[in-house]
Chain A
């Protein structure tokens, strides 16, 4: 077997592994239960708050990540490497630990003050958003920075030499050139947010019709040994996830390359 064929075989084996895992769900699949679960008020509520919380968390993460990613990609400043390293914190610390950190924060005097005077976070819908936001912010920044790193700085240099201010250059050159990367990063951030479980259940809890997102609903169904219901919810989550990832593949197809 040639090296090329061997590598392709590995690529297909990964594909088959995941497809096999998904197909194995159909052992417990019941069409009637699937439809019943999908159309139940509880599931529809879970889908609704999952989509809503993930979207709000993603938009907030991306808005904050954009200038931060630009700074990390373009400028040299003191503490840059510490900031850059901390972006991976949500990846190295488990989501439940992130959730616990948030719970502790909102129990300390500052967190309590915020909750009393501004917004109740713990065990509320806002808690889902905060948990998803904290777990995705670093990833969003890292992904957007990567897309900005790909754009040669000479475009910005030339634009500035034509008398255009750095902020306007950011808006008219950097953002349009990294548009696809930002959209792809947003979709991946959203996919990460919608699948978030550990931090969300720790901070927002698992109250049905209140803070039960799709991943939490799957866990709760499994905990009550409702395998058919679990399978239905997993299939819904997989459909949403694959749809978004396929969207990423389409969007990240490049129109042009930089020399």
Chain B
């Protein structure tokens, strides 16, 4: 298990990583996501040993490795651009760690490395120089080079970010296969939500040098903990609300901006009349083409803008007599059946599962 204990890292006197604690189980696929410049790469470089820790500890299987040099840590690192050694052939790149590192049984590692080469489909490249490979080939070679010496912990820094989607998907499947076949622990930095949700068993969301939330992908997506996490996930429907009733594990909140009261599950102890924020998943909202308001469960208003996406439509909706707008994402087929356009009067059905309570009461 990789354990980070209140890690703080400073770059030119400024803290870039602030009190980060994280447990990564083995074997597993953990994705560290967050906006550009949030400190993801710095954290990865710190774990590899390329940056000094100002405060805190890094433990690997219970052993303190905070001050161990990179080559003794046991993490194979794949940077964003693969960093293949340009003076070596593909084969020499892949075998580099076996040849020059402290691998004990080199012969059997060579065999495993060739097996990995086969799985990654790069045997035809072995004799080629590492320069002039395509983006996908480069990443496959970099992956083979990281796996060849037999490390169980592979740290990937946005390795697929420069690839087109088709190539990315191919590599997603390969990464998953490799992880399962060799019982590996992958820690991957990404800002691509689709990629992270496809690959990860667990996800951490990092914002401004801090980890805001760690959990399964389901928990991260369905219940973002903070407003920053929700916004990073692309959820713009965030509204102020006030607690009006507290029951065991349930709270009623009134949202004046939507003139609606919602009853939501709540694991924390909250006080009556506390001001909170709620979020609404744009794709969990049902749209109906009518203007009738039924017992307050439906939210009526007008469609302001419509944006066409690859397989859905993003509808910007404004409730009647409200200053705020809400985004609703409707699958293309459903949208066409609805027959709505800009200016249409519609009602939204807000299911309990589409609404979540955010941390940080006001």
Contacts and interface: CB of A to CB of B under 8 A. Distances in A.
Contacts of A163: 71-72, 74, 97, 101-103, 149, 151
Interface stretch (B31-39, B81-89, B238-246): B81-89
A177 B87 CA distance: 7
Most buried by B among A158, A164, A177, A179: A158
Nearest to A175: B87
B97 A162 contact: yes
Interface residues of B, number: 32
Contacts of A154: 79, 81, 83
Chain A's interface: helix, strand, loop or mixed, by majority?
Answer: helix
A157 B97 contact: no
Contacts of B151: 163
B81 A159 contact: no
A162 B86 CA distance: 17
A95 to B, nearest CB: 37
A152 B86 contact: no
Nearest to A152: B83
Given A154-B81, A168-B100, A259-B81, A160 B70 contact: yes
Contacts of B45: 157
A256 B75 CA distance: 28
Interface in A92-121: none
A155 B85 contact: yes
B87 A164 contact: no
A159 B103 CA distance: 14
Contacts of B83: 152, 154-155, 157-158
Interface residues of A, number: 24
Contacts, number: 78
A160 B100 CA distance: 10
Interface in A212-257: 255-256
Nearest to B162: A259
Interface string B84-107: 011100000000110011110000
Most buried by A among B70, B77, B145: B70
A172 interface: yes
Contact of B86 (A157, A161, A256): A256
A162 B81 contact: no
Interface in A46-97: none
B330 interface: no
B131 interface: yes
B69 interface: yes
Contacts of B73: 161
Most buried by B among A160, A161, A162, A173: A161
Given A160-B70, A162-B149, A256 B48 contact: no
Contact of B96 (A152, A164, A166, A255): A164
B272 to A, nearest CB: 54
Interface in A137-168: 152, 154-155, 157-166, 168
Interface string A157-195: 111111111101100110011010000000000000000
B85 A161 contact: no
Nearest to A172: B100
Given A154-B79, A158-B79, A166 B71 contact: yes
B96 A159 contact: yes
B184 interface: no
Nearest to A161: B77
Nearest to A163: B101
Given A172-B100, A256-B86, A164 B50 contact: no
A258 B85 CA distance: 10
B199 interface: no
B85 A173 contact: yes
Nearest to A259: B81
Contacts of A165: 71
A179 B101 CA distance: 22
Contacts of A160: 49, 69-71
Nearest to B72: A163
Contacts of A164: 71, 96-97, 100-101
Given A162-B146, A162-B149, A164-B71, A157 B48 contact: yes
A239 B345 CA distance: 88
A246 B262 CA distance: 80
B76 interface: yes
Nearest to B78: A158
Given A157-B50, A161-B48, A162-B96, A255 B131 contact: yes
A146 B149 CA distance: 33
Interface string B154-165: 010000000000
A176 B101 contact: no
A57 B78 CA distance: 42
A66 B130 CA distance: 26
A19 B177 CA distance: 66
Contacts of B155: 161
9 contacts: A157-B77, A157-B83, A161-B75, A162-B76, A163-B101, A163-B151, A177-B85, A177-B86, A177-B87
Given A157-B83, A162-B71, A172-B100, 18 more contacts: A154-B83, A157-B48, A157-B70, A157-B77, A157-B79, A158-B77, A159-B85, A160-B69, A160-B71, A161-B75, A161-B76, A162-B149, A163-B97, A163-B101, A163-B103, A163-B149, A177-B87, A258-B86
